[in-house]
């Protein structure tokens, strides 16, 4: 059932959130907010009602140039700090994020649209854990010593070792689905490795990154180490990628833009890592206990309204339980309560923007032409960027619900004869970000893990990520891995050293 939310049920907005929204935000460069080369502003919306809630500048090339210069100047200062001091700064930042947790959770919820339960538990609490985890790595960066066989000069043995050095100035381009968390997935490891950074948040959701930049200064991190340039991708984003003084681009977003960024970065041999889209399969075998797994399945598909790169959107379900599965899932979906992010009792919130809800609606309309929509399929009759949770069945491989990353609350369910058929259908995709197998049979689970072409495979679970678990995509879902010790490769250059030692 879809309900309107009485305002009395909404979380009371903190005065500091209201004050932050009232500001017109410049870029955050060299430790302060600056408004420079542009008088163009970007309206920032509340997806729950479609109203403008704040404004930022639309940074252009000159602003980006200034931000990169600031990061370049700060590089020797930050790089040369003792690792333990960098670690301490990052711990202080994690404490400040925790102390300002409710403020950040509200800002994210109001701007992105997602549930306050989600922003408190995932965006804020997850970010605190993440920054702490990465702080610990600052003191654990290491190289190796190598025994070498070089035969010259005579009567000498050559000793080799490797050093890991900060890659330099990082340009980070961030999407709108986890604006603060994904910004920190780039800021925290870059800083742990001794890099400085310029962050370009999504034009739809710039607010928490700008607030974070203020907390960075409060944490004692020198000005210029973290800069934030709010702006459009085609202006500020492209200028950052093309800037010759940026050493590394780390991008999270769509495959289409990621491809463009990779090509552009190569012009300057700028290193790059791409975390891109997914069309993630979820396989349910015949032995599962349906009522028991239903809450996990709903989270897999509808967390953040399906606006999660790893969300499950193609479900392959064993034929023997298919009819009951579709009926139970449709029943659970119809019971979801729709409401704004600040209503803690709502299950489904608005999508991020008017443009995005239009795109989702268009894809669902196309899907419905050749397949059956069991539930949902339309925008509810209320203001804001809402879309009903939508279940599509009898869809062929070319149907958008099976083929395209819709990035909304839209899933397809397809019957399968066995695990092998499910794996073949799962792998018949240009994407390979994530997948899951739901079964109590150990052998099936292991076969699925090995056969699925995906950067992450869960068993009887879907979506949880951990700072210590590498995350990234096979195929067109990306290049590189975030999290874990792999991040050290992302944010450092490897230097080989060779010294002849006379015998
Ligand atoms: P998007 O690709 O449209 O935009 C991402 C960012 O790139 C934004 O900041 C945008 O302004 C910027 N951008 C756009 N054009 C640019 C250009 N020409 N040069 C430089 N920057 C440019 O993606 P989105 O709609 O914001 O986010 C949704 C997408 O992100 C989905 O495809 C989703 O799967 C993906 N995503 C992937 C992961 C992952 O870890 N693999 C995580 C979250 C989201």
Of 171, 207, 253, the residue with max ligand 1 atoms within 8 A of its CB, to mutate for a pocket test, comes to 253
pLDDT of amino acid 5? 63
177 lines ligand 1 (CB under 6 A): yes
Can you give 21-68 as a three-state secondary structure string?
Answer: HHCEECEEECCEEECCCCCCEEEEEECCCCEEEEEEECCCHHHHHHHH
Which secondary structure element, helix H or strand E, spans residue 189, and what is its range?
helix 179-192
Give pLDDT < 50 ranges for the chain. Answer: 1-3
Could you identify the atom of ligand 1 that is nearest to the CA of residue 258? 2
Give the CA distances from residue 381 to residues 14, 20, 388, 436, 501, in Å, rounded to whole numbers and listed in that order: 29, 31, 10, 35, 78
Q: Output the DSSP codes for 308-320.
A: -TT-EEEEEEEGG
Which residues, at least 6 apart from 256, have a Cβ–Cβ distance to it below 8 Å?
A: none
Could you identify the atom of ligand 1 that is nearest to the CA of residue 482? 40
Structure tokens of 416?
């399968």
pLDDT of amino acid 7? 72
- Condensed to tens digits (0 to 9), the pLDDT of residues 39-73 reads 789 999 999 999 999 999 999 999 999 999 999 99
Which neighbouring-strand residues pair with 29?
32
Q: How far is the CA of 276 from the centre of ligand 1 (A)?
A: 7
Rounded to an integer, what distance in angstroms lies between the CA atom of residue 496 and that of residue 161?
6
| Exposure string for 411-430, b = 16+ CB within 10 A, e = fewer | bbbbbbeebebbbebbbebe
Structure tokens of 326?
């579709």
* Domains detected in the chain: 13-276+479-495 (3.40.605.10), 280-467 (3.40.309.10)
Q: How far is the CA of 363 from the centre of ligand 1 (A)?
A: 19
> Do residues 125 and 101 touch, judged by C-beta distance below 8 A?
yes
- Residue 473's CB is within 10 A of a number of other CB atoms, namely 27
Rounded to an integer, what distance in angstroms lies between the CA atom of residue 262 and that of residue 253?
12
- φ, ψ of residue 114 to 5 degrees: the values are -70, 165
> Do residues 69 and 84 touch, judged by C-beta distance below 8 A?
no
Q: How far is the CA of 358 from the centre of ligand 1 (A)?
A: 17
pLDDT of amino acid 39? 73
173 lines ligand 1 (CB under 6 A): yes
Rounded to an integer, what distance in angstroms lies between the CA atom of residue 126 and that of residue 131?
9
Closest-CA residue, ligand 1 atom 26, reads 175
Angle at 133 between CA 130 and CA 136, to 5 degrees: 145
Of 186, 233, 429, the residue with max ligand 1 atoms within 8 A of its CB, to mutate for a pocket test, comes to 233
Closest-CA residue, ligand 1 atom 15, reads 233
Rounded to an integer, what distance in angstroms lies between the CA atom of residue 450 and that of residue 445?
9
pLDDT of amino acid 275? 98
**5-14 contacts: CB < 8 A, separation 24 or more?**
5/339, 5/340, 5/343, 5/345, 5/346, 9/339, 9/343, 9/344, 9/345, 10/340, 10/342, 10/343, 11/106, 11/116, 11/342, 11/343, 11/344, 13/106, 13/110, 13/342, 14/102, 14/103, 14/106
199 lines ligand 1 (CB under 6 A): no
Q: How far is the CA of 272 from the centre of ligand 1 (A)?
A: 14
Structure tokens of 343?
């209503």
Indicate if 275 belongs to the active site. Answer: yes
Angle at 79 between CA 73 and CA 85, to 5 degrees: 120
Closest-CA residue, ligand 1 atom 34, reads 277
Rounded to an integer, what distance in angstroms lies between the CA atom of residue 442 and that of residue 446?
6
SS3 of residue 247 by DSSP:
coil
Query: Looking at 87, 275, 388, 405, which residue is catalytic?
Result: 275
- Residue 153's CB is within 10 A of a number of other CB atoms, namely 9
- Residue 399's CB is within 10 A of a number of other CB atoms, namely 20
Among 194, 186, 81, which residue's Cα sits nearest to residue 141? Answer: 194
């Amino acid at each position: 059932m879809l309900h309107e939310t009485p305002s009395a049920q909404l979380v009371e907005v903190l005065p500091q959130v209201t004050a932050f929204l009232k500001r017109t935000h410049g870029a955050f460069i060299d430790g302060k907010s600056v408004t420079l080369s542009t008088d163009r502003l970007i309206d920032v919306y509340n997806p729950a009602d479609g109203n403008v809630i704040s404004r930022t500048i639309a940074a252009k090339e000159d602003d980006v140039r200034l931000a990169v210069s600031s990061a370049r100047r700060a590089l020797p200062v930050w790089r040369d700090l003792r690792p333990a001091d960098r670690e301490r700064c990052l711990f202080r930042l994690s404490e400040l994020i925790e102390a300002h947790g409710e403020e950040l959770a509200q800002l994210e919820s109001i701007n992105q649209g997602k549930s306050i339960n989600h922003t408190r538990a995932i965006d804020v609490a997850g970010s605190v854990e993440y920054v702490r985890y990465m702080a610990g790595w600052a003191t654990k960066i290491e190289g190796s010593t190598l025994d070498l066989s070089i035969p010259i000069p005579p009567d000498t043995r050559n000793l080799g070792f490797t050093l890991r050095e900060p890659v330099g100035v990082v340009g980070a381009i961030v999407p709108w689905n986890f604006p603060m968390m994904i910004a920190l997935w780039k800021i925290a490891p870059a800083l742990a490795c001794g890099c400085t950074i310029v962050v370009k948040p999504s034009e739809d959701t710039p607010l928490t990154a700008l607030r974070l930049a203020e907390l960075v200064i409060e944490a004692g991190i020198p000005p210029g180490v973290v800069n934030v340039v709010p702006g459009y991708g085609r202006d500020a984003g492209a200028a950052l990628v093309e800037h010759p003084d940026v050493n590394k681009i780390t991008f999270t977003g769509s495959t289409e833009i990621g491809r463009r960024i990779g090509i552009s970065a190569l012009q300057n041999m700028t290193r790059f890592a791409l975390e891109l889209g997914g069309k993630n399969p979820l396989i349910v075998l015949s032995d599962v206990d349906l009522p028991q797994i239903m809450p996990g399945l709903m989270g897999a598909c509808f967390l953040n309204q399906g606006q999660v790169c790893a969300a499950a959107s193609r479900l392959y379900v064993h034929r023997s339980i298919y009819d009951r599965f579709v009926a139970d899932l449709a029943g659970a979906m119809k019971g979801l309560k729709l409401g704004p992010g600040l209503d803690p009792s709502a299950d489904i919130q608005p999508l991020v923007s008017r443009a995005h809800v239009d795109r989702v609606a268009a894809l669902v309309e196309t899907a419905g032409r050749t397949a059956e929509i069991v539930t949902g399929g339309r925008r509810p009759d209320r203001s804001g960027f809402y879309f009903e949770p939508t279940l599509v069945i009898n869809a062929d491989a070319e149907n958008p619900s099976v083929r395209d990353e819709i990035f909304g609350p839209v899933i397809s369910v397809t019957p399968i004869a066995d695990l092998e058929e499910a794996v073949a259908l799962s792998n018949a995709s240009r994407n390979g970000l994530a997948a899951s197998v739901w079964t109590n049979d150990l052998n099936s689970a292991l076969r699925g893990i090995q056969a699925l072409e995906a950067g992450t495979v869960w068993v009887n679970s879907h979506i949880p990520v951990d700072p210590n678990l590498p995350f990234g995509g096979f195929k067109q879902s990306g290049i590189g891995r975030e999290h874990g010790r792999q991040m050290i490769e992302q944010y450092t250059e490897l230097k080989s050293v060779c010294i002849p030692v006379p015998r």
